């Protein structure tokens, strides 16, 4: 398994994973400041993680918002997500990123266990969303 930055040649394989995990497909390009990572095994995308670059202008800190973390069902509990996050932590250190944030569906208990194991802390907050388009 190799962790690498997403390349368009992996679009079909990535979409199989995104459909399996979230019932969505990738149709756009990643913004210049964002980072899209994939875990690849035998040219198949088996893991995915998207980092949205953000700036907290009040505290003057750079951070990443983590989105679309997923691992192919047949590769779960084999350390794929941990390897993706190890790579993320390295990127954060290299780019002087102050912190990471993410949200997660309450039903994703195994993912929550991993996040806590990796040092993420649950915040007392609720996520609100308003659809515009």
Domains of the chain: 2-117 (3.40.630.30)
Q: Is the separation of the CB atoms in 40 and 4 below 8 Å?
A: yes
Rounded percentage of the chain residues whose pLDDT exceeds 70: 100
- pTM equals 0.92
pLDDT digits (tens, 9 = 90+) for 20-76: 999 999 998 999 999 999 999 999 999 999 999 999 999 999 999 999 999 999 999
Asked if residue 132 has pLDDT above 90, the reply is yes
Asked if residue 126 has pLDDT above 90, the reply is no
18 CB-near residues (< 8 Å, 6+ apart): 24, 25, 26, 48, 68, 70
**pLDDT band at 124; cut points 50, 70, 90:** confident
pLDDT for 10:
97
**pLDDT band at 95; cut points 50, 70, 90:** very high
Average pLDDT over the chain, rounded to whole?
95
């Amino acid at each position: 398994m190799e962790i690498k930055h997403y390349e368009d040649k992996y679009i079909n394989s990535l979409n199989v994973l995104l459909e399996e995990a979230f019932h969505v497909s990738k149709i756009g390009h990643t913004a210049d400041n964002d980072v899209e990572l994939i875990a690849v095994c035998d040219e198949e995308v088996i893991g995915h993680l998207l980092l949205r670059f953000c700036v907290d202008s009040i505290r003057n800190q750079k951070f990443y918002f983590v989105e679309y973390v997923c691992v192919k069902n047949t590769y779960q509990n084999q350390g794929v997500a941990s390897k993706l996050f190890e790579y993320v932590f390295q990127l954060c250190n290299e780019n002087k990123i102050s912190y990471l944030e993410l949200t997660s569906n309450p039903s994703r208990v195994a993912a929550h266990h991993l996040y806590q194991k990796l040092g993420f802390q649950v915040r007392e907050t609720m996520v609100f969303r308003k659809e515009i388009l």
